Amino acid sequence: MTEENDRTKNVVHNYRGWQSDVIVDLIKQYDFEFITLNPGASFRGLHDSLINYGKNDPQMMLCNHEEIAVQIAHGYAKATGKPMAVILHNLVGLLHACMAIYYAYIDRVPIFIMGATGPMDEGKRRPHIDWTHTALVQGNAVRDYVKWDYQPTAIEGVPESFARAYSIMTTQPPGPVYMCYDAALQEAPLTKDVPLPPRGSVSTPSPMMPDPRAIEAIAEKLIAADKPMLLAEYAGRRPLGFENNVKLAELIGAGCWDIANALNFPNKHPLSMSMDKGALKGVDLVVGLDIKDWEKSTHELNSTDRKITPLVNTDCDWVEIGFAELGISKWSMDYCRMQPCSVRALGDTALGVPALIETLEKRIGGDAKLQKTITERKLHIGKRHDETWAKWQEEQRNDWDASPMTSARLAHEVWDVIKDEDWVLTANTLKHGVRKVWDFDKAYRHPGIELGTSTQIGMSIGVALAHKKHGRLVVDLQPDGDLMFDAGALWILAKYEIPMLIVMYNNRAYYNDWEHQIRMARLRGTDMDKAHIGMDLFGPEPDFGALARSMGVWGEGPIENPKDVRGALQRALEVVKSGKPALIDTVTQHR
């Protein structure tokens, strides 16, 4: 057996003797930092190799549920741009994880998922269990929402398919992949040497440059526009995306609307127009920066009758830099409504936005009249931004002393305690309320908004894991309904000593759906007082402080009086600074 450092060189290896050792060497060669999993006998061969041959490096992290295992990798990838490895127990573990894999797919995050199947050789199957845990073909369960899946039939097919899967997963737009390894393949002795991909080979293709002619056309339209608006969705996840968006907005004098699936623009910047619906009036050019959902931010929705009203003029021009229909699903409709554009620059905003900036600089630099127009436009936008921000601060004070507290009061109380720390917000934004209070001044402050119930605690753990080595204060504004799905995830924080400040957004309800029932009652003239049935989380009320303590996490609460929040936050902050997780249960109003 060669030494540890010899096993990653571009040579034929002398393995310890098991085919699953080959998979371990590939995991090491591709520099995965963590592996999340829920135990399963279908990968017992790989598990043994990871511990005894691989020395548990990268570290395996035991998770209470397969969904949580995938969600941790999801949050980690959003925060770092780097994939984690996940291992799922054959067919049943894969089925448990389906929803989390789907959310990773629609959120464009790379996750390297390894599964297993009971032996495909019928002669090697144990009675009953290996039959019920085997499918033909297992990848069919997730094929509609992974970028690629593969099930090698022999050990010789493992290195090449592993390399291809990694390349496909990390090519923009990224997404999860699924590799299924036969249990008998893993457990078989290795009878010959199997080479790994060359160590010096490129793992991911270089990014795609948009057509320079399309970039030139967008520059011309920006120069000619009276009121341009940047609309950014995923561009902030790309290298220097946050900074380049600011540079572009300042250069041309355009407002920027951050859709918030990534942090695309600093919210207190004078050119930030996010969540200001009135700012869209009169816009004559919308520049999409890696957009999938054009509609939600630029239209007004009446949730009761489902009527959608555009907020921009019908003669507004639309252009985009991004990936458009690349990787579009043939199954789910996560691609949203199509927006006709006069210019579509297909390619990576990491290259396209700097190219657009360079083109504009050449045009603007020698045009004094244009420079004056841009300066005046920036002043006008900045004035509107300041007025909007001041209005928000006033609105946040409504019902300030109410008990239970408003979510706006909670946002302020948390901000007052963490604002001098190097903080990161994981997922939930209190229905974007924190974006009206906190100062999102750095690209890493927020990896993007949550994706729905039963996603947020797992993703938040992944974000906290990503920032642990940086010593940053990671804050999870944790909805109660979401935690009820995956309460066992708290144990993972304690076991692996992942510091995270959990502040419960506890309105004792699945209130998003409760609100829909109120709308139906109003529309139909039925009893609104019954809207909570099937939606509430009271009678009994979960004690999240006690739940946290039972899992080894410091916990306090429930807290209903807003005057008691600051003290609890300060106590919890000291725990988190000591390297441990902490939870305070703050109770808020339903609305």
Task: Note the pLDDT tens digit of each residue in 520-547.
Answer: 888 899 998 888 888 888 889 999 999 9
Q: Which two tokens stand for residue 113?
A: 């998922």
Per-residue pLDDT, averaged over 449-462, amounts to 93
Report the interhelical angle of 349-365 vs 368-395 (nearest 10°): 130
Q: Which two tokens stand for residue 220?
A: 């011309």
* Residue listed under structure tokens 């642990």: 468
Per-residue pLDDT, averaged over 267-277, amounts to 97
pTM, whole model, 2 decimals? 0.95
Burial per residue of 425-437, b for 16 or more beta-carbon CB atoms within 10 angstroms, e otherwise: bbbbbbeebbbbb
DSSP state of 52: I
Handedness of CA 260, 263, 264, 265 (dihedral sign): positive
Task: Note the pLDDT tens digit of each residue in 350-407.
Answer: 999 999 999 999 999 989 999 999 999 999 999 999 999 999 999 999 999 999 999 9
C-alpha 489/C-alpha 427 separation (Å) is: 15
* Whether pLDDT at 13 is above 50: no
pLDDT, position 10: 45
Number of Cβ within a 10 Å radius of residue 218: 26
C-alpha 562/C-alpha 566 separation (Å) is: 8
CB 230 within 8 Å of CB 249: yes
Q: Is 345 helix (H, G, I), strand (E, B) or coil?
A: strand
Please give the mean pLDDT across all residues of the chain: 94
Per-residue pLDDT, averaged over 541-561, amounts to 97
pLDDT, position 522: 87
Q: Taking Cα atoms as reference points, which of 42, 134, 34 lies closest to residue 79?
A: 34
Q: Taking Cα atoms as reference points, which of 137, 75, 148, 62 lies closest to residue 113?
A: 148
Residue 241's identity, in one-letter code, is G
Q: Is 149 helix (H, G, I), strand (E, B) or coil?
A: strand
**Confidence grade of residue 412 (pLDDT, cut at 50, 70, 90):** very high
Cis bond before residue 127 (omega within 30° of 0): no
Name beta bridge partners: 112: 85, 177
* Residue 511: C-alpha distances to residues 327, 367, 427, 515 (Å): 34, 54, 18, 6
* Residue listed under structure tokens 């907020």: 311
Task: Note the pLDDT tens digit of each residue in 176-229.
Answer: 999 999 999 999 999 999 999 998 899 999 999 999 999 999 999 999 999 999
C-alpha 374/C-alpha 251 separation (Å) is: 8
Q: Which helix (H) or strand (E) holds 582?
A: strand 582-586
Burial per residue of 176-210, b for 16 or more beta-carbon CB atoms within 10 angstroms, e otherwise: bbbbbbbbbbbbbebeeebebbeeeeeeeeeeeeb
pLDDT, position 266: 98
**Confidence grade of residue 454 (pLDDT, cut at 50, 70, 90):** confident
* Residue listed under structure tokens 């690629």: 148
Number of Cβ within a 10 Å radius of residue 519: 15
Task: Note the pLDDT tens digit of each residue in 18-68.
Answer: 999 999 999 999 999 999 999 999 999 999 999 999 999 999 999 999 999
Q: Which two tokens stand for residue 45?
A: 């061969």
* Domains of the chain by start residue, with CATH: 4-187 (3.40.50.970), 212-394 (3.40.50.1220), 407-586 (3.40.50.970)
CB 218 within 8 Å of CB 363: no
Residue 43's identity, in one-letter code, is F
C-alpha 310/C-alpha 525 separation (Å) is: 29
Q: Is 281 helix (H, G, I), strand (E, B) or coil?
A: coil
Number of Cβ within a 10 Å radius of residue 367: 12
* Whether pLDDT at 7 is above 50: no
DSSP 157-177: GHHHHHHHHHHHHHSSSP--E
Name beta bridge partners: 504: 478
pLDDT, position 5: 45
Per-residue pLDDT, averaged over 431-458, amounts to 94
Using CB atoms within 10 A of its CB, is residue 496 exposed (0-12), middle (13-18) or buried (19+)? middle
Residues 110, 112, 115, 121, Cα dihedral to 10°: 120
pLDDT, position 61: 98
pLDDT, position 16: 64
* Whether pLDDT at 249 is above 60: yes
The percent of residues above 70 in pLDDT, for the chain, comes to 97
**Confidence grade of residue 14 (pLDDT, cut at 50, 70, 90):** very low
* Residue 467: C-alpha distances to residues 86, 337, 473, 580 (Å): 19, 35, 8, 14
Q: Is 9 helix (H, G, I), strand (E, B) or coil?
A: coil
C-alpha 430/C-alpha 393 separation (Å) is: 15
Report the interhelical angle of 565-577 vs 407-418 (nearest 10°): 40
The percent of residues above 90 in pLDDT, for the chain, comes to 85
